[in-house]
Chain A
Amino acid sequence: MMSAVAESIMGDNAKPAGVPAASEPLRAAAANEAQVVPAASAAASVKTRSLRKKIIAGGLFMRVVPPLLGVALLVLVWQIIALKTASFPTPWVTLKEAGVMFSDPFYRNSPNDQGIGWNVLASLQRVGMGFGLAALVGIPLGFAIGRVEFLSRMFGPIISLLRPVSPLAWLPIGLLVFKSANPAAIWSIFICSIWPMIINTAVGVQRVPQDYMNVARVLNLSEWKVLTKILFPSVLPYMLTGVRLSIGTAWLVIVAAEMLTGGVGIGFWVWDEWNNLNVPHIIIAIVVIGVVGLVLEQLLVALAKAFTYEQVNN
């Protein structure tokens, strides 16, 4: 419903007045009008416009007010807790601290004392590497597993067994093999990202409609054409879902992994500030982690939308 309203706002700018925008509630409203006063189209269009304004105003209200109220409630609870507990900073103190922090996010005093910008970037870099490697391995593997039943039966039990294991349990193995903290953290990200990508890609391949495969058989397409023209476009939405799940998990895991490995990174930074007993910084870090996670998720949702094709029905 939200998106329909947004569309109608955009439609208003793009189309001349009186033309119903392509959104369901408005089209319905316009249709009703047409039935009531078929002759007086000018009056109808005025009424349509006022109706549309009402709908947009209602939509704006629902978009803005409830989220603001939610945030206000959270701040209120926080304030009450802060007043009752001496060690917990108030929202105002935290906000002031955030102002100071974000005025210089990229300072570098020593390896253990860097701006929050560097820490976030370091974490993102680890996630990017682990995640990228997982995509390189996981997506082709998913295709193979989805396409060849033998492989699916071969890897199925292993995947089922390893998937529920916490990625942090793999950290010691990474430390043992790579003998260094940074690759070990990347390794944890790799392990946690790879399962959703393998599974979703494989499921996508298995769910390619039989009709499309029949087309491929009748046209006698080469394996390469089948892959590029039928399998890949058909699997892409599933694959992107896998990617989205992976990056969510990866961002969850990196914070925990960095708390254990140390160095630079937002997870380490949270732990460091805990050792310094700088609670406002911890709260700011939590918000930053949330915002970055949200942005990553939204980017991938947008990507998935751009590549999802409507299944064609008759």
Chain B
Amino acid sequence: MDNINGKFIDIHGVEMVFHTKKGVFHALREINLTVAKGEFVTLIGHSGCGKSTLLNLIAGLLKPSDGVLLCANREIGGPAPERAVVFQNHSLLPWLTCYENIYLGVERVFGATENRTQLRDRTRAALALVGLTAAEAKRPNEISGGMKQRVGIARALAMEPKVLLMDEPFGALDALTRAHLQDELLKIVAKTESTVVMVTHDVDEAVLLSDRIVMMTNGPAATIGEIVEVKLPRPRDRVTLAQDAQYGAYRTAVLEFLYRKQAHPAREAA
């Protein structure tokens, strides 16, 4: 049991090669990573380092060229609601209301075992969790970017996934909205005890949210460079942490890796 919990997600010797029109592109090499149950892991690296590719592999949206990915000791063969994805551009269906967007997933996961009232309650609960009860009848184009992303998170959480996969979920939002949603995410994750793998390019976001920060080397043939374990106590508060020496040290460690050891690929080329 401990073994399963310690290696809830087990990525072993994964290679990813894309066959494009321009030829073969070796995106990822020798990826070995385990994620424990209830752990919050962020993947960070410069653009083009394959962090989204790695996330898509865990999601099952891509198949590895070599190696194995396990989730709860079962091989990841394709996408499944147990590994819910929050997409960067939220990907809500514009012709459905917020409620219907969430209901679509709820119905798929629980429709076989629960009745309509239970499904409705689940959908409402998910909306309440992200504080959007008032917007349930609105279409995505009638709400703000931050609200859309919250609906995306609610849709993922409503399916009670084993793992929550987030691909730069706050990347397109302004700084204030982003901070607000990060705080909300921290609360939600504490409440639901979710296992989360999140792709980000924001150092502060990574340190604030993660238990471990997985730093990736530059592509092509990117791999895991270093892993920083963030031992800050929870609940974390961004204002107090701003003064915290330990927080600063973690931040410096990540910055050091990104800008010293793995200088930006564009600068390297120049």
Chain A residues at the B interface, C-beta cutoff of 8 Å:
211-212, 214-215, 217-222, 225, 229-230, 233-234, 309-314
Contacts and interface: CB of A to CB of B under 8 A. Distances in A.
B105 A211 contact: no
Q: By DSSP majority rule, is chain A's interface helix, strand, loop, or mixed? A: helix
B94 interface: yes
B197 to A, nearest CB: 14
Interface string B53-97: 000000111000000000000000011110111010111111110
9 contacts: A211-B89, A219-B105, A219-B108, A220-B79, A221-B104, A309-B141, A312-B90, A312-B141, A314-B145
B148 interface: yes
Given A211-B89, A212-B91, A214-B87, A312 B80 contact: no
Nearest to A211: B91
B140 interface: yes
A217 B141 CA distance: 23
A13 to B, nearest CB: 24
B104 A217 contact: no
Question: Which of A215, A217, A229, A313 has the most chain B CB within a 10 Å cutoff?
Answer: A215
Nearest to B159: A219
Interface residues of B, number: 29
Given A214-B61, A220-B79, A310 B141 contact: yes
Interface of B: 59-61, 78-81, 83-85, 87, 89-96, 104-105, 108, 140-141, 145, 148, 159, 172-173
B247 to A, nearest CB: 29
Contacts of A212: 91, 93
A205 B61 CA distance: 20
A20 to B, nearest CB: 20
B14 to A, nearest CB: 20
A209 B218 CA distance: 29
Contact of B108 (A214, A220, A233, A314): A220
